[in-house]
Structure 1
């Protein structure tokens, strides 16, 4: 693609109803926007969409997606193993080419204002777009999830949204809008159903517990197996191969091992380590469709309306 390119990787709190997710994907169909990937996870009850294009077009696509999600996802009836505060839970803007992280942060601020204006969904800004230092980490913004946060915004002014509110939307909650570098969402499945083991591994891995820089990790039960779900957010400091090597060491201590893996969304080329041990656990990984730079040249077809 010529000119500035921004990616947006929104996460929605719906991973079961395919017609609902297809409608959200279709809402992002704006001239100039390319659909790179979308996926659903029923256990996490979550979907992830990746689009890329010129900044103004990506901004409009993201705003429309939040509106569609607010119409069709009711958090008072939604459950899943993944933490969430909103129907459109997180909307990150990511620089791809000829765009800086600061420019993406400005884009996030514009998106937040429009999301509240058009759809009545309050917004928290996080990471590079954070308006306050205590909201730089998404985990801090999302603490308590929708159920607790809707009470806390009335009791504690420090927990109120950056834009809109102070109350959350009654069914769509709030939206965390941010700017960040590309991350890898990498899940490992173990030969066990013992969630306590993967939670212990996650605690030692994640940066917030003194583990590896740029690693966020949770242990959950997904698809009938213990799953270590990770976001690796600083690929230069901590490549996925280094995280995987540490997982193996910790798993060996607990007398277990990972047997299968998945990448949610797509990888930037800098994270693509074709002959690495961690990638060999990915069943039928297709670089043509799962590597960002390749997908930009051959995007997915938009789903039919």
Structure 2
């Protein structure tokens, strides 16, 4: 049987307490079949994003261990941060890389959701391609009102009940959203203004839900520690809307208020083609192809010889 590889990018509602961050991240270290590619914690978002690649079974085992650590330390009744959230382990997406199809990742998400609830007691919602209800394909629909609203509405509104678990959230850990999806690029644009209303207006101009770019989700928020604001986005299909196209639209919208872009951030891992497309745009390279990148060509040659 061919080796199966998936990417998994679990998000935890903790970005400030280093000892808790370390305990969660350590659950993914030195585990056979699990490769910890990246982890980033942000104090303003109060969120930890971990990037993993590996075989499905060992990744799922490590996720259970990390979820138990998060449940032990994170109380959603006390949690505050700039990023929308409903649980201590907020979201767990599976993305196919090699030897596994999207349909198999959907099956994996559903099976893992059942196991996750059984072993942690944290209820589960399914999203993106693993959604069992069409409206739950969109993560923002599940997160509407965030933890504070969902903990009440899960008890009283059938349409907000978890897909796995009782009609309530975990008393401290909330709920977890589990799914299968394509590669997602977490892309942030920082602005030289303290006026968060401007960042929110710009986010509304670029996100799909308010008439902007398809496959772009975004919010405006304040980075209080730095005295600036941010348009924080998820590009759920970078092939349909490029980083440079979104960034240039943000620059254009910001000029209306005399605001400029300080910098951009890529949070976690990113496919090389997403970077190369924008590099070719800004360098104005005609007919540029990824095969022209020396390291990528070498990897192709080495892969062919290995087979």
* Structure 1 counterpart SS, 2:279: coil
1:194 counterpart = 2:195:
yes
Separation in structure 2 between the aligned mates of residue 185 and residue 276 of structure 1, nearest angstrom: 20
Aligned twin of 1:34:
35
Match of 2:59 in 1: 58
Q: Distance in 2 between matches of 1:211 and 1:261?
A: 19
Q: SS in structure 2 opposite 1:275?
A: helix
Q: Distance in 2 between matches of 1:277 and 1:191?
A: 24
Question: Larger Rg: 1 or 2?
Answer: 2
Q: How many residues align?
A: 280
Worse-superposed segment, 181-190 or 59-68: 59-68
* Alpha-carbon offset, residue 18 of structure 1: 1.1
Distance 2:145 2:233 in 1: 20
SS in 1 for 2:222: strand
Q: In the alignment, which residue of structure 2 is the partner of 1:159?
A: 160
Q: Distance in 2 between matches of 1:89 and 1:72?
A: 14
Partners of 1:243 and 1:55 in 2: CA distance: 33
Rounded Cα–Cα distance in structure 1 between residues aligned with 2:83 and 2:238: 23
**1:229 corresponds to 2:232:** yes
Q: Distance in 1 between matches of 2:54 and 2:74?
A: 26
The 1-side partners of 2:124 and 2:117 are apart by 7
Superposed counterparts of 1:165-176, under 5 Å: 165-176=166-177
Distance 2:95 2:53 in 1: 9
Deviation digits for residues 145-188 of structure 1 (CA, Å, limit 9, x no counterpart):
11111110111111010001211000000000011111111111
Deviation at 1:252, TM superposition (A): 1.9
- Contact 2:40 2:49 survives alignment (8 Å): yes
Superposed counterparts of 1:99-248, under 5 Å = 99-222=100-223, 223-248=226-251
> Deviation at 1:35?
0.5
Q: What runs of 5+ residues in structure 2 fail to find an aligned partner?
A: 284-295, 300-307
Label 1:45 to 1:101 Cα distance change in 2 as closer, same or farther (>3 A): same
User: Which ranges of 4 or more aligned residues in structure 1 deviate by more than 4 Å?
Assistant: 276-279
Confirm or deny: 8 A CA contact 2:87 2:147 kept in the other structure. yes
Q: Distance in 1 between matches of 2:47 and 2:96?
A: 24
Map of 1:260 onto structure 2? 263
Task: Name which of structure 1's ranges 26-35 and 129-138 shifts more when overlaid on structure 2.
Answer: 26-35
What do residues 122-165 of structure 1 show as CA deviations (whole Å, max 9, x unaligned)?
A: 00000011010010000000111111111101111110100012
Shift in Å, 1:275: 3.4
- Residue 278 to residue 15, structure 1, CA distance change in 2 (3 Å): farther
Instruction: Give the structure-1-normalised TM-score.
Output: 0.88
* Greater relative contact order (CA < 8 Å, ≥ 6 in sequence): 1
CA contact under 8 A between 1:59 and 1:107: conserved in structure 2? no
Say if 1:215 and 1:233, in contact at 8 Å, map to a contact too. Answer: yes
> If the length of structure 2 is used for normalisation, what is the TM-score?
0.87
SS at match of 2:86: coil
Looking at structure 1, the residues matched to 104 and 59 of structure 2 have their Cα atoms a distance apart, in angstroms, of 13
SS in 2 for 1:161: coil
**Aligned 8 A contact 1:63 1:111 in 2:** no
Give 1:278 shift.
Answer: 8.1
